[in-house]
Amino acid sequence: MNKQLPQENSLFRLPIYVITGFLGSGKTTLLNQLLRQPGMQQTMVIVNELGEIGIDHLLIETNTEDIILLEGGCLCCYVRTDLIQTLEKLFSQREGKELPEFVRILVETTGLADPAPVLRTLIHDRFIATHYRLEAVLTTVDAVYGNQQLNDYDEAVKQAALANHLILTKIDQVDATTQAILQQRLRRLNPTAVIHEVNLHQDQFDVNILLNTNCYNNQTQQLDVKKWLQADVYLGHQEVISAISPTQVSPFTTHQPYSHQHDIYIKTFCIEHHEPLHWLTLERWIQQLTRLRGKDLLRTKGIVYTIESDLPIIIQGVQHIFHPPVTLKAWPTQQRCSQIVFITRNIEKNIIEQLLHELIKSKTVIEACSAALILLSPPTDLHR
Ligand SMILES: Nc1nc2c(ncn2[C@@H]2O[C@H](COP(=O)(O)OP(=O)(O)OP(=O)(O)O)[C@@H](O)[C@H]2O)c(=O)[nH]1
């Protein structure tokens, strides 16, 4: 992490909404619904398609100058540089008034995209992070095939785990029990996402839900930390999860125990620390986590209380990439404490907590590294 702590500023940054979801789950249908609604004028759309010649963009009902196609590979692996270049170009064309003014960007990924590298790209690149902000991730989940896709594809699990909004589509095609079971599974996988259940052929997904539930105050452009972090939800969720026996048979399929499903590997929790932390300790903690298990740190975000500053500092990362920390102008509540939310793949809360305690005690870098090595070696049976 960068030692310089920039102050939160009030500069307008263009919001980016990422629409993801497994193959055929309704991304394009949702996108079209959103674009038809009055609040969505001035939206630029970036569509990523697999294959040599993309056709999905032809199905998107918007003016051709408001849509950009990234083809020839998946955003999460091949065309990340294209995304950065496209966003840079869009920003300068908008500044130079070479394009109609737009106030937000929607990025539709391919159905096979792992969203983590996409989010990482958005927070890592200095230019992008200065001029844009990742506003929300919307994930469509097919009510018919969702359960099976979560069983079979790690990408589907990550798409659901990293969402702010989970849109359960095609509910007209399943019975109430199937729908309720999938809903419960999604809730367990992602305790903070808002779950919407829709028949996209009939129901309108109200765009105001998106526009009004973001984590920024539109007037002041400041981050609403409580809303952004939702630490209370994670703290409550942990108790629910701890009460579930790991050997319990899954309610989703009659034969498979939890341990055969991808989502048993997803852990979501919040670590609270009430004493102020040395910045160096915090930095070492993140360094060790990212060095040894960066790939499995799907999302980290938090507010931290340090010895060096009276003000709270916001940290956030996706896998091994961390955004430069930002100092807020004030504490959001009277209570001063660090709260860091993690979504991991197979890293337990107690391991990350133990590492922090070891680092607080350790005097040298060597001590810190060996504590981390012992605690963070990945289990050999990690299901990928
Ligand atoms: N019955 C029903 N069909 C839906 C619903 N949502 C989407 N569909 C249909 O599902 C099919 C796939 O929808 P798309 O919007 O193309 O899905 P997608 O996620 O963009 O698909 P890919 O880009 O191929 O991954 C289309 O035929 C849609 O009309 C729904 O809520 N109910």
Beta bridge partners of 313: 304, 327
Q: Tell me the pTM.
A: 0.76
Q: What is the fold of 227-376?
A: Hypothetical Protein Yjia; Chain: A;domain 2 (3.30.1220)
Picking from 268, 279, 258, 240, the residue whose alpha carbon sits closest to that of residue 360 is 279
Question: Which pLDDT does position 306 carry in this prediction?
Answer: 95
- Mean pLDDT per 10-residue section of the chain, whose length is 384 residues: 47 85 90 89 84 51 68 62 88 89 90 85 84 91 92 90 94 95 93 93 87 66 73 66 40 36 76 94 92 88 92 87 84 88 89 92 76 68 46
Taking CA atoms, 21 is separated from 141, 162, 191, in Å, by 6, 11, 18
In tens, the pLDDT along 72-92 reads 566 666 556 788 888 999 999
Name residues whose C-beta falls within 8 Å of residue 17's C-beta, 6 or more positions apart in sequence. Answer: 104, 105, 106, 107, 135, 136, 137, 138, 210
Q: Where are the domains of the chain?
A: 14-222, 227-376
Q: Do residues 162 and 192 make contact, with C-beta atoms less than 8 angstroms apart?
A: no
Report the distance separating Cα 191 and Cα 237, nearest Å: 7
Q: How far is CA 46 from CA 134, 228, 350, 379, in A?
A: 14, 25, 40, 38
Predicted confidence at residue 378, as pLDDT, reads: 61
> With the C-alpha atoms ordered 328, 331, 336, 340, is the resulting torsion angle positive or negative?
negative
Residues 168-193 have pLDDT tens digits of: 999 999 999 999 999 999 999 998 89
Query: For position 295, what pLDDT does the model report?
Result: 86
Cβ of 179 closer than 6 Å to ligand 1, yes or no, is no
Q: According to the model, what pLDDT value does residue 150 have?
A: 92
What pLDDT does residue 91 have? Answer: 92
Using the mean position of ligand 1's atoms as its centre, give its distance from the Cα of residue 321 in Å: 33
**CB of 27 shorter than 6 A to ligand 1:** yes
pLDDT at 364: 75
Return the CATH number of 14-222, one of 3.40.50.170, 3.40.50.300, 3.30.565.10, 1.10.10.10. Answer: 3.40.50.300
- What is the Å distance from ligand 1's center to 26 Cα? 4
Distance, CA of 32 to CA of 173 (rounded, Å): 21
Question: Rounded to an integer, what distance in angstroms lies between the CA atom of residue 108 and that of residue 35?
Answer: 13
Residue that has been written with the tokens 């106030």 in this structure: 103
Question: Could you tell me if 45 and 31 are in contact, meaning their C-beta atoms sit under 8 angstroms apart?
Answer: yes
Tokens found for residue 31: 């996108």
pLDDT of residue 258: 37
- Which residue puts its alpha carbon closest to atom 2 of ligand 1? 170
